């Protein structure tokens, strides 16, 4: 029998978006004109002054290890940025520079999950939450994210899932894959309820915190002093600054957990690569106009996608309030979501992601990423329209 990894590895899941990307790339290499509305990354290049800062760091000789927690200037810049944007005190001592936003969820779930415990996570939600929870042997408990709530989470429903086994609650707003932004009243109610459970840790994934529209306010969990001693805040540069390939992120940790994440870094990745950290510093301290112009472009596409999706036969779509995803309801088309996403890719050359790839509550929906040019989005929606009019589901 071939050698086997320990059992936990058989429970590790995946992000199907990467499989869709691989298939889309393969079809494109065969000459197909694929339009990719599957991938969750900005289609803009990283702003030039950020790229220049990385090049300068290399030319200045920043080739060695940095502290495992990150370079001090960058930790301070992150603390200042969070403190200013959310009008609160943030100590750089609790900031950890991470190799991507994902690594914070990996570390937090690894730290909190074990057999016999439960971890609450959004469903539909980023697939890695569940995958990592299962890896640890903890029981994943989905928090349903519902269309009738405009894809915001419900505080009442979330609090109702907590019991004596619950160790960690994961929330995400603005959210992937639904584009929902949870309003202040709901977050106030959640925090108030969590005050009755002082042993619970909270992971707030705020990677899309600067991506909201129509004046919708993002409420950070950082704004609530009563839970600060057990809040893990996940954020990073990937989305806001179009830096997904740089593998950069950061997190704020409670005092009680900080040494554990620092030690995990020492054991696993030592530090984030040095020039990338200087690029991150330039991103935070330099001009922010590129962020504003990317958001303007996303907003224009969002309006278009929202309007046009609702014109497609048997499809309806809630107006996304944040991130760069729309999550149209396809239940009336007669298609199941994954076969539809697959047929759209193979037969209409449009990559989307089936809702079930984000959890059981994703059936009946597909995710459309509008991180693509308006022209491509228009062509893709035309193809989906033609497809739905002519191609009925396999029986």
Least Cβ distance, residue 333 to ligand PLP (angstroms): 26
CB closer to ligand PLP, 174 vs 335: 174
Binding test (CB under 6 A) with ligand PLP, winner from 170, 207, 274, 340: 207
CB atoms within 10 A of CB 184: 11
Residue 238 engages ligand PLP in binding (rule: CB under 6 A): yes
Using CB under 6 A, which of the segments 58-66, 95-103, 277-285, 313-321 binds ligand PLP? 95-103
Residue 126 engages ligand PLP in binding (rule: CB under 6 A): yes
CB atoms within 10 A of CB 235: 26
Residue 100 engages ligand PLP in binding (rule: CB under 6 A): yes
Q: How many residues bind ligand PLP (CB under 6 A)?
A: 13
Using CB under 6 A, which of the segments 158-166, 236-244, 345-353, 363-371 binds ligand PLP? 236-244
Radius of gyration of the chain (CA): 21
Residues 265-294 touching ligand PLP, rule: CB under 6 A, are: none
Using CB under 6 A, which of the segments 3-11, 58-66, 96-104, 272-280 binds ligand PLP? 96-104
Binding test (CB under 6 A) with ligand PLP, winner from 186, 205, 209, 308: 205
CB closer to ligand PLP, 154 vs 172: 172
Is 166:197 a contact under the CB 8 Å cutoff?
yes
User: Can you state the angle between helices 16-29 and 337-348, rounded to 10 degrees?
Assistant: 20
Binding test (CB under 6 A) with ligand PLP, winner from 38, 42, 70, 101: 101
Using CB under 6 A, which of the segments 27-35, 97-105, 277-285, 365-373 binds ligand PLP? 97-105
CB closer to ligand PLP, 69 vs 238: 238
Residue 40 engages ligand PLP in binding (rule: CB under 6 A): yes
Distance separating alpha carbons of residues 227 and 123, to the nearest angstrom: 23
For 309, residues 6+ apart whose C-beta sits below 8 A from its C-beta are: 315, 316, 317, 326, 328, 368, 381
Binding test (CB under 6 A) with ligand PLP, winner from 75, 102, 230, 301: 102
Is 152:182 a contact under the CB 8 Å cutoff?
yes
**Nearest partner of 172 among 284, 42, 322, judged by Cα:** 322
Task: Give the three-class secondary structure for 149.
Answer: helix
Distance separating alpha carbons of residues 109 and 202, to the nearest angstrom: 10
Binding test (CB under 6 A) with ligand PLP, winner from 244, 273, 277, 369: 244
DSSP of 77-96: HHHHHHHHHHTS---GGGEE
Residue 2's φ and ψ, nearest 5 degrees, are: -65, 155
Is 96:265 a contact under the CB 8 Å cutoff?
yes
Least Cβ distance, residue 356 to ligand PLP (angstroms): 17
Residue 369 engages ligand PLP in binding (rule: CB under 6 A): no
Task: Give the three-class secondary structure for 147.
Answer: helix
Q: Tokens standing for 246?
A: 């740089």
Distance separating alpha carbons of residues 344 and 286, to the nearest angstrom: 41
Residue 210 engages ligand PLP in binding (rule: CB under 6 A): no
The vertex-162 CA angle with 156 and 163, nearest 5°, equals 145
Residue 174 engages ligand PLP in binding (rule: CB under 6 A): no
Residue 325 engages ligand PLP in binding (rule: CB under 6 A): no
Residue 320 engages ligand PLP in binding (rule: CB under 6 A): no
Least Cβ distance, residue 131 to ligand PLP (angstroms): 13
Distance separating alpha carbons of residues 190 and 188, to the nearest angstrom: 6
Distance separating alpha carbons of residues 32 and 51, to the nearest angstrom: 32
Least Cβ distance, residue 2 to ligand PLP (angstroms): 31
DSSP state of 365: B
Contacts with ligand PLP by CB under 6 A lie at: 40, 100-102, 126, 172, 176, 205, 207, 236, 238, 244, 249
């Amino acid at each position: 029998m071939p050698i086997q990894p320990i059992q936990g590895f058989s429970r590790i899941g995946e992000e199907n978006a990467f499989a869709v990307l691989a298939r889309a790339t393969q079809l494109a290499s065969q000459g197909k004109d694929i339009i990719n509305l599957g991938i969750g990354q900005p289609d803009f290049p990283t702003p030039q002054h950020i790229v220049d800062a990385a090049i300068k760091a290399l030319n200045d000789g920043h080739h060695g290890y940095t502290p495992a927690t990150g370079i001090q200037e960058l930790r301070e810049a992150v603390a200042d940025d969070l403190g200013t944007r959310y009008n609160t005190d943030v100590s750089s001592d609790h900031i950890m520079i991470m190799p991507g936003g994902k690594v914070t969820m990996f570390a937090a779930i690894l730290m909190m999950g074990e057999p016999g415990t439960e971890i609450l996570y959004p469903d539909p939600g980023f697939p890695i939450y569940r995958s990592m929870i299962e890896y640890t042997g903890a029981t994943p408990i989905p928090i349903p994210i519902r269309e009738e709530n405009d894809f915001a989470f419900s505080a009442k429903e979330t609090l109702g899932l907590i019991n004596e086994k619950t160790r960690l609650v994961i929330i995400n707003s603005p959210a992937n894959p639904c584009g929902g932004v949870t309003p202040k009243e709901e977050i106030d109610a959640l925090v108030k309820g969590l005050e009755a459970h002082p042993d619970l840790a909270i992971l707030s994934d705020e990677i899309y915190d600067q991506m909201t529209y129509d004046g919708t306010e993002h409420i950070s969990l950082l704004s609530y002093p009563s839970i600060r001693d057990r809040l893990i805040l996940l954020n990073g540069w990937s989305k806001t600054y179009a830096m997904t390939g740089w593998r950069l992120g950061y997190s704020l940790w409670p005092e009680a957990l900080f040494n554990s994440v620092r030690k995990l870094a020492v054991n696993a990745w030592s530090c984030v690569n040095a020039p990338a950290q200087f690029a991150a510093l330039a991103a935070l301290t330099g001009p922010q106009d590129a962020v504003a112009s990317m958001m303007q472009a996303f907003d224009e596409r969002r309006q278009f996608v929202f309007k046009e999706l609702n014109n497609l036969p048997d499809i309806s779509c809630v107006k996304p309030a944040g991130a760069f995803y729309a999550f149209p309801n396809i239940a009336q088309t007669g298609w199941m979501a994954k076969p539809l996403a697959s047929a759209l890719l193979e037969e209409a050359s449009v990559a989307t992601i089936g809702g079930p790839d984000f959890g059981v509550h994703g059936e009946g929906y597909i995710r459309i990423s509008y991180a693509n040019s308006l022209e491509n989005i228009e062509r893709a929606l035309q193809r989906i329209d033609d497809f739905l009019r002519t191609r009925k589901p396999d029986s």
